[in-house]
Amino acid sequence: MSNAAKHEFKQKQNTSIRARLSHRRKAILSTMLSRWLDKRIPPASQHSLTLNSIFVLPTGFGWSFIIMALCLFLLGTNYQNNLMVLLSYILLSVMLLTLFYTHQNFARLAVKSQPIAPFHCHQTGTFQLAVIKHHAQQDKPCKGNLVARWFDTKEQVSFILNAEEKSQQRLSVPIKRSKRGKYPLPRLTLACDFPLGLFKCWTHLDFDADILVYPQPLQDEAIQVALPFDESEQSKNDTTTSSHSSTDFHSLSDYKAGEPLNRVVWKQVAKSGDWVVKQFSDPINEKYYLSVDNQIDVERAISILTHHVIEQSKNGNQFGLQYRSIDISPHYGDSHTHQCLKALSLLNLPQRTYPNDAFSAEAASS
Amino acid sequence: MIALLKPSALSSHQPISYFMLAIAYGVLLLTLTEELMIWVIILGLCAIVVRTVSFEKSSHLPNARTVNLLAVLSLFALTWFGFSIGLLNSMINLLAIAFALKLMLLDSKRDFHLLFCTSLFLIGCGFISALSVIAWLGYLGVLLFLLLSLAYYHGPVTPLKSSAKFVGTLVIQSIPIAALLFLVMPQLPPLWQMPTSKSQQTGLSDTVTPGDIASLAKSSELAFTATFPSASAVPEPQQRYWRALVMEDFNGKTWSIGQKRKQAERQLATMRRTPPLLLLANTAENEESDESGISETKSYEMIVEPTKQNWLFALELSAPNNGKNNITVNAQFDYTLRTSTPLMSKKSFYFDYLPNAPVTNPVGEFERQLNSLLPATSNQETRQWVSSLKQANPTPRGLASAIMNYFKQQGFTYTLEPNAMPVDPIDRFIFEEKAGFCAHYASAMTFALRAGGVPARMVTGYQGGEQLDDNVLQVRQYDAHAWVEALIDDTWVRYDPTSMVAPSRLQYGIEQALAEFGEKRTDGLLGDLREGALFTTLQNWMRQMDYQWSKWILGFDANKQKDLLEDLLGQITTKKMTAVFLATLSIVGVILLVYFFPIQRQSTLPKYHRIYLNALSAIEKHSGVERQYLSPREYLNKVSSHLNENTQKILSEMTLLFIESSYSREGIGDDKAKVTLKMKHHNRALKKSLRQ
Amino acid sequence: MFDEAGNPQQLTLSDNAMRLDIEEILQALGEKIIGKQHQLKLALTCLLSNGHLLIEDLPGMGKTTLSHALSQVFGLQYSRIQFTSDLLPSDMLGVNIFHTGEADTDKQFTFRHGPIFSQVVLADELNRASPKTQSALLEAMEERQVSIDGTTHSLPSPFFVIATQNPSSQSGTYPLPESQLDRFFMRISLGYPEWDAEKAMLKQSNASTALSQILDEGSLTALQKSVDDVHASDALINYILMLVNESRSNSAYPNPLSPRASRALLQGAKAWAFISNKAFATPDDVQAVFTAITAHRLTSSSQHQGTGFDNSTYARESAGETLSKKLLESIDPLAA
């Protein structure tokens, strides 16, 4: 290695070290920030904003308003025009008062998180937030335009809070994730500039909730997934499932002697004298076990299985799931589907590294 | 019931807020007629119309290309006219044009905010020319309206009425804070020279063609107000000569300030020679210190209407008191006064009146030569007449009185409407017309004196003044006057030829003087109306208001501020000033507290109740047992085990007293004080017991 | 330790006599229903406030015993109506019957009084009756009179209804709607007795003997009158108003308290103060009766809507109690 090359190499190393250092510094900073926020605004499913949880600063417009007031002051002084000076003082006082009004308004906001429905990755989930009554400010609600943004993204959505509205107002904030798994819900930044847009109040709220992101469904006909259910097992399970078989109402039919009395529609009997019984449909058409060959790439396999789970569930079939460590016996219904999808989304999750962990690991290695 | 809010970016109030902004802009345009060029106003009004037409649909708005084209055109036009209207007005015009163009394209929050700030600045510009109370209230109204449009914009579902209520409250709340700032914040002198507009200079001009002052006489606008410390300090009407400009250059028609004089003043200034007026002032001060008491009566304050010029007038002779003036006033060697910046606003100036001081000739031969110059050939008749007079009266004084006598005896009349005298005006005036205004007389006499070898010059200014109060004189534009100074024995002596013709001019003012010659200053119905009693009362009242406004708001300066604070606090020291600033901060804090944290309900509770609560909180702190919602009795039962015997006893007594006073049929009865006292006593004992 | 000493007011002589009566009554009732002193006091409060009582309990807890004992002690005329799903309003209120006598004058309608025409009515298992019958009873309770075929018949005075309700999940019951529940002055539930109390009860020999009458008819009215004389200061009334307003302004309370409830609170507090031998009511008295008076009024309608079955009654009851406790704890009596 020539000297020049050595030098270059060294420089490269230096820059990479510097980059890593700056990355580290950022990581430390963000950890510190999140710790500080955790202390200041502790996680809860419901937040009533208080003095401690609100940050406030002038907006860009607010700054230009101040600059305008100062310009008027200078102009007034140079022309020795007291009216201009007085105008600038009034503008500054308006600014000062607006600080309090903005804060007062925002401190009336109280929100409560709604349970968040799981969604597939690369899809947009919605996080619903109910505007509730503030425990200390019962009579007056928060007004104005509420801007919501996730702590880790730039995209923002804004909502108009209606003070006159009698019903409960709900905001739905879209959320996106590109990988399956279970995530803690990031802090939600809510901001409001009511009443004059001179100041912006904001807060970062942690709703102490997790989001479950299902895998992305993938259609691939080439791979055999659905296996017919084993006959011997079916006969064993038959009795247990039949009790469920009569829950879905299907139609009414005439009463035949010997039918159970609890199915008689007594209302109809009392009205017209006709004896009518409820008929229930049997939702189980076919039963399957869903499974894929372990040779296929895990993520791909999970996606394919996800697709099939959704399909089977749509068709009302009874299905089970067997893949690697997952073993779910056949069943049907929404909760069953959810169980299958949850198992798929949590399967073989790589150990998630947090910024401080990354730092310590790095520190240990170096 | 649940209302799911859809994300939305647009406010439904947008069009109306835009419209309101446009209206505010329209009002501003129409009040700024003095500064704005007519085509700019028309452009602005067109923009408002465009905005109004497209109230519902933004598709009617002109596209960006059209507006850009318009912008380029307007920019050209503005540079074209810009030279004639001065830098300041160009700036205001530019702002107005930019506003108009942006208004047509207005479609985003950022633009709206930009236009809002621009409107604020335009309001500020409005105060350049409009300084009255009415203007102030009007612009405050515009400000309210602007804030309303802003509040309406930012409250997407707030009804207009509640926005209006909010804005009203906001402005009313901000006024005390602003007033406090106004009182306490330091009143700074001008920080740097600002551009002024040329077209709007008012009052006397720096050239006099006889007849000019007559046109001023038509105007009854206020020129300045002088406030004397007491009624006795007001000079006699004949003594009220307000000296402004000295005209030493004559070209046969027009008198003006000589170029040589200007150069000389500049040179003298660079040589750092002290003008005689300031020397006079210094000696006067020294004398005053010897015989104190008179000094008080000699200083006075003048509130000068904005002239947009540098020169200033004062009683003949007055020395500026620059220790008090916010704008520095420089004295010149011809005993005139100049301010360091043009007067753009009503401002107070402070002077010391030196009634008997002579106007000396400080620069020797220079002035004598300058004031002996005559145009080579003109007004030959006058020259001959003067030489004949000179033979009869060889002394300068004699010549001067001969000329004065001539005006008195030859049937001269005083009129505002003399005939035009284009050729040899002085000859024609003296020998043919024999009717004219003060400038004619002054011009003629100066010319005559110079022709007779006596150095003389014309002085313009104001003469007279109307008494508003016992100690307040108001001088209006129609009091403009011109008189003559002749250099006799190295001293400039004042001669007023007008007083020979119309003696009442000095004593009773111009109206009376004209009346004697069967003329009226103003014509028509309005003039008759002015004489009505009601009108006079009303006018007086308005003048009083305007005077107070000028004195306390417009003329409020560092000096008045100091006086006010001294009245309140006595001698001002640095320590005290710090205290004043801290106090201001805390007062603002208190005002905010009052606004935002309404008084707690607890204060309505009776005294004994509060003492009891105080005791309970002390107990809570001591024992760690919180009361929460428990009634007094239950809390006593609960907390007893945590307290020592003595405290227990005192607390149970207090509880008993409280329950009896609050809930029993007899209640607290008549002996309120007794119960309170008892409770206080118990409380003290309790605290003591807790400390052990 | 404080209660007696803390009362400086001297009761008058007649009040003293009444005081003795009340102690005697409580003692007598206590012999019948052992270990439930608080509930007995509440029941007595209700009676003295001239309000109706709702007892919600499982069978065999002593609901009937309590009501019977109360009527016996006060020497009041007592009747019991067992509510069933086929009980008709006329079975309870009475009917007009046509007399078929010989003489023309005998041939006329006469009113046969139903069991409701008693001073103490035990409406047993009220929730078993059809809504029609329930509402007939509740109307009679409110109006203190009965209208049948256009004729109005006044109910006796004093008139005191003790209704019992069975919270267990049994089919064929009709839970009372809130609007009707408001008409009951208070709701109590006796609950299981303590170990010692139950032991004493089991050991008791004379369980079935009737109680002797302690008061006569007129003295109950006199007692009720003296309850009205108990003083309620402005501070106390403010406290009640604050409680009531809190329930109205806070959305946590789906069924805010009505003015009838606030009147009941004041009356209950006075009666409780009277029973506790005090000449004026204090926040303690309000707090003592608060849950019993408000719990059944605060229950949310949505909490048992749509289920159709009565198994939510227990949940409802506990929800009501929780709300009532929460409301009580949210207001500081000293803030008024």
CB A95 within 8 A of CB A62: yes
Which whole number is the average pLDDT over C315-335? 80
Among chain C residues, the shortest Cα distance to B653 is held by C6
Euclidean distance between CA atoms C75 and C71, whole angstroms: 6
The number of C-beta contacts closer than 8 angstroms across A and B is 191
Q: Which of B424, B436, B420 is nearest to B384 (CA)?
A: B424
Interface of B with C (CB under 8 A): 601-602, 609, 612-613, 616, 627-634, 636-637, 652, 655-656, 659-660, 662-665, 667
- Whether C319 maps to a domain, the answer reads yes
pLDDT for residue A366: 35
- Nearest CA to CA, how far is C10 from chain B (Å)? 12
Torsion, Cα C121 C194 C30 C281, to 10 degrees, reads: -80
pLDDT at A15 over 80: no
- Nearest CA to CA, how far is C311 from chain B (Å)? 27
Instruction: Spell out which residues of chain A touch residue B347, defining contact as CB-CB under 8 Å.
Output: 80
pLDDT in tens, C289-314: 999 999 888 875 544 433 333 444 45
Euclidean distance between CA atoms B512 and B529, whole angstroms: 17
Euclidean distance between CA atoms A108 and C97, whole angstroms: 67
pTM: 0.66
Flag whether residue B175 sits within 8 Å of chain A, measured between CB atoms. Answer: yes
Interface of B with A in 323-382 (CB under 8 A): 326-327, 341, 343-345, 347
Token pair of B666, please?
């007899």
- Nearest CA to CA, how far is C250 from chain B (Å)? 17
Greater confidence (B393 vs B596) lies with B393
Spatial strand order in the sheet of A188-192: A55-58, A199-205, A188-192, A144-150, A156-161
Which whole number is the average pLDDT over B106-125? 91
pLDDT in tens, C237-294: 989 998 998 888 776 787 888 999 999 999 999 999 998 888 889 999 999 999 999 9
CB B678 within 8 A of CB B658: no
> Which among C6, C332, C335 is the nearest to B656, CB-wise?
C6
pLDDT at A240 over 60: no
Flag whether residue B168 sits within 8 Å of chain A, measured between CB atoms. Answer: no
Range of the domain at A232: 215-239+283-349
Which pLDDT band, with edges at 50, 70 and 90, does C172 fall under? low
First vs last C-alpha separation in chain A: 25
Is B662 in contact with C287 (Cβ distance < 8 A)? no
b/e map C212-223, b = 16+ CB within 10 Å: eebbeeeebeeb
Instruction: Spell out which residues of chain B touch residue C270, defining contact as CB-CB under 8 Å.
Output: none
Euclidean distance between CA atoms C328 and C26, whole angstroms: 27
Residues A117 and A202 in one domain: yes
pLDDT at C63 over 90: no
pLDDT at A3 over 80: no
Euclidean distance between CA atoms B15 and B38, whole angstroms: 28
Task: Kindly give, in sequence order, each residue whose CB lies less than 8 Å from that of residue B633, ignoring residues fewer than 6 positions away.
Answer: B655, B659, C2, C3, C6, C282, C284
Which whole number is the average pLDDT over B506-523? 76
Is C250 in contact with A139 (Cβ distance < 8 A)? no
pLDDT at B12 over 90: no
- Nearest CA to CA, how far is B592 from chain C (Å)? 26
Q: Provide the number of structural domains found in chain C.
A: 1
pLDDT at B238 over 80: yes
pLDDT in tens, A270-294: 766 677 776 655 544 567 788 887 7
- Whether A258 maps to a domain, the answer reads yes
Instruction: For residue C192, give the CATH number of its domain.
Output: 3.40.50.300
Task: Kindly give, in sequence order, each residue whose CB lies less than 8 Å from that of residue B37, ignoring residues fewer than 6 positions away.
Answer: B81, B85, B93
Among chain C residues, the shortest Cα distance to A135 is held by C250
Among chain C residues, the shortest Cα distance to B634 is held by C284
pLDDT at B287 over 70: no
Distances (CA, A) of C231 to C235, C262, C270, C293, C309: 11, 16, 7, 20, 45
pLDDT in tens, C200-231: 888 876 666 677 777 777 788 888 888 888 89
Is C251 in contact with A139 (Cβ distance < 8 A)? no
The number of C-beta contacts closer than 8 angstroms across B and C is 66
CB A356 within 8 A of CB A31: yes
Ramachandran angles phi, psi of B491, nearest 5°: -130, 140
Please report where in the chains the tokens 């959810």 appear, as a residue. Answer: A338
pLDDT at B118 over 90: yes
Which whole number is the average pLDDT over B383-405? 88
What subunits make at least 3 CB pairs under 8 angstroms with B? Answer: A, C
Instruction: Spell out which residues of chain B touch residue C287, defining contact as CB-CB under 8 Å.
Output: 631, 634
pLDDT at A102 over 50: yes
- Whether A341 maps to a domain, the answer reads yes
Is C332 in contact with B628 (Cβ distance < 8 A)? yes
Is B663 in contact with C233 (Cβ distance < 8 A)? yes
pLDDT at A103 over 70: yes
pLDDT in tens, A23-44: 888 888 888 888 888 888 888 8
What subunits make at least 3 CB pairs under 8 angstroms with C? Answer: A, B
Residue to test with chain C: of B648, B656, B659, most C Cβ within 10 A: B659
Residues A291 and A267 in one domain: no
Which whole number is the average pLDDT over C29-34? 82
pLDDT at B296 over 50: no
Q: Considering chain A, what is the average pLDDT of its residues?
A: 78
- DSSP per position, A161-178: E-SS--SEEEEEEEEE-S
> Which among B8, B175, B592 is the nearest to A158, CB-wise?
B8
Q: Considering chain B, what is the average pLDDT of its residues?
A: 83
pLDDT in tens, A43-98: 887 888 887 788 999 999 999 999 999 999 999 988 888 899 999 999 999 999 99
Which pLDDT band, with edges at 50, 70 and 90, does B514 fall under? confident
Q: Provide the number of structural domains found in chain A.
A: 3
Q: Is B413 helix (H, G, I), strand (E, B) or coil?
A: strand
Flag whether residue A167 sits within 8 Å of chain C, measured between CB atoms. Answer: no
Which pLDDT band, with edges at 50, 70 and 90, does B261 fall under? confident
- Nearest CA to CA, how far is A195 from chain C (Å)? 26
| Lowest model confidence (mean pLDDT) among B37-41, B622-626, C306-310 | C306-310
> Which among C231, C331, C333 is the nearest to B664, CB-wise?
C231
Residues A233 and A292 in one domain: yes
Q: Which of B103, B99, B80 is nearest to B90 (CA)?
A: B80
> Which among B612, B629, B663 is the nearest to C331, CB-wise?
B629
Residues A150 and A290 in one domain: no
Is B634 in contact with C287 (Cβ distance < 8 A)? yes
| Lowest model confidence (mean pLDDT) among A154-168, B257-271, B473-487 | A154-168
Residues paired with A248 in a beta bridge: none
Q: Which of C197, C206, C170 is nearest to C84 (CA)?
A: C170
Is B156 in contact with A160 (Cβ distance < 8 A)? yes
Euclidean distance between CA atoms B187 and B166, whole angstroms: 32
Residues A146 and A287 in one domain: no
> Which among B601, B632, B660 is the nearest to C334, CB-wise?
B632
> Which among B155, B170, B345 is the nearest to A144, CB-wise?
B155
- Nearest CA to CA, how far is C250 from chain A (Å)? 7
pLDDT for residue B88: 83
pLDDT for residue A87: 94
Which pLDDT band, with edges at 50, 70 and 90, does A363 fall under? very low
Which DSSP letter does residue A42 get? -
pLDDT in tens, C113-150: 888 888 888 888 888 888 888 888 888 888 888 888 77
- Whether C5 maps to a domain, the answer reads no
pLDDT at B434 over 90: no
Residues A94 and A119 in one domain: yes
Which whole number is the average pLDDT over B647-668? 86
Task: Kindly give, in sequence order, each residue whose CB lies less than 8 Å from that of residue B4, ignoring residues fewer than 6 positions away.
Answer: A128, A170, A172
Task: Tell which phi-psi region holds residue B528, choosing left (phi > 0), alpha (psi between -120 and 50) or beta.
Answer: alpha
Instruction: Spell out which residues of chain B touch residue A101, defining contact as CB-CB under 8 Å.
Output: 166, 170
Is B113 in contact with A158 (Cβ distance < 8 A)? no
Instruction: Spell out which residues of chain C touch residue B667, defining contact as CB-CB under 8 Å.
Output: 233
Distances (CA, A) of B515 to B82, B414, B502, B510, B521: 45, 10, 10, 8, 9
Q: Is A82 helix (H, G, I), strand (E, B) or coil?
A: helix
Token pair of C22, please?
């009340």
Flag whether residue A138 sits within 8 Å of chain C, measured between CB atoms. Answer: yes
Distances (CA, A) of C165 to A37, B1, C59, C62, C174: 53, 33, 9, 12, 10
Can you give the three-state secondary structure of chain C, one letter per residue?
CCCCCCCCCCCCHHHHHHHHHHHHHHHHHHHHCCCCHHHHHHHHHHHHCCCCEEEECCCCCCHHHHHHHHHHHHCCCEEEEECCCCCCHHHHHEEEEECCCCCHHHCCEEEEECCCCCCEEEEECHHHCCHHHHHHHHHHHHHCEEEECCEEEECCCCCEEEEEECCCCCCCCCCCCHHHHCCCCEEECCCCCCHHHHHHHHHCCCCCCCCCCCCCHHHHHHHHHHHHHCECCHHHHHHHHHHHHHHHHCCCCCCCCCHHHHHHHHHHHHHHHHHCCCCECCHHHHHHHHHHHHHHHHCCCCCCCCCCCHHHHHHHHHHHHHHHHHHHHHCCHHHC
Share of chain B above pLDDT 90, in %: 12
- Whether C134 maps to a domain, the answer reads yes
The CB density around residue A287, as the number of other CB atoms within 10 Å, is 23
Task: Kindly give, in sequence order, each residue whose CB lies less than 8 Å from that of residue C23, ignoring residues fewer than 6 positions away.
Answer: none
- Whether A363 maps to a domain, the answer reads no
Q: Which of B142, B144, B134, B140 is nearest to B168 (CA)?
A: B144
pLDDT for residue C312: 45
Which pLDDT band, with edges at 50, 70 and 90, does A110 fall under? confident
Residue to test with chain A: of C251, C253, C330, C331, most A Cβ within 10 A: C251
Instruction: Spell out which residues of chain A touch residue C249, defining contact as CB-CB under 8 Å.
Output: 138-139
pLDDT for residue B157: 83
> Which among B2, B128, B151 is the nearest to A81, CB-wise?
B128
Which whole number is the average pLDDT over B380-404? 88
Euclidean distance between CA atoms A61 and A196, whole angstroms: 10
Which pLDDT band, with edges at 50, 70 and 90, does B131 fall under? confident
Q: Between vectors from CA A310 to CA A301 and to CA A129, what angle results, nearest 5°?
A: 110
Among chain C residues, the shortest Cα distance to A136 is held by C250
- Whether A316 maps to a domain, the answer reads yes
- Whether A365 maps to a domain, the answer reads no
Instruction: Spell out which residues of chain A touch residue B555, defining contact as CB-CB under 8 Å.
Output: 82
- Whether A11 maps to a domain, the answer reads no
| Lowest model confidence (mean pLDDT) among A225-239, B235-249, B543-557, C140-154 | A225-239
Is C250 in contact with A133 (Cβ distance < 8 A)? yes
pLDDT for residue C15: 60
Kind and range of the H or E element at B2? strand B2-5
Flag whether residue B30 sits within 8 Å of chain A, measured between CB atoms. Answer: no
- Nearest CA to CA, how far is A198 from chain B (Å)? 10
Euclidean distance between CA atoms B174 and B195, whole angstroms: 31
Which pLDDT band, with edges at 50, 70 and 90, does C331 fall under? confident
Euclidean distance between CA atoms B247 and B443, whole angstroms: 10
Which whole number is the average pLDDT over B505-520? 78
Residues A272 and A318 in one domain: no
Instruction: Spell out which residues of chain B touch residue A132, defining contact as CB-CB under 8 Å.
Output: none
Q: Is A361 helix (H, G, I), strand (E, B) or coil?
A: helix
Is B637 in contact with C279 (Cβ distance < 8 A)? no
pLDDT at B285 over 80: no
CB B604 within 8 A of CB B585: no
Please report where in the chains the tokens 């500081």 appear, as a residue. Answer: C332
Is A100 in contact with B174 (Cβ distance < 8 A)? no
Is B143 in contact with A85 (Cβ distance < 8 A)? no
- Whether C7 maps to a domain, the answer reads no
Range of the domain at C322: 13-335
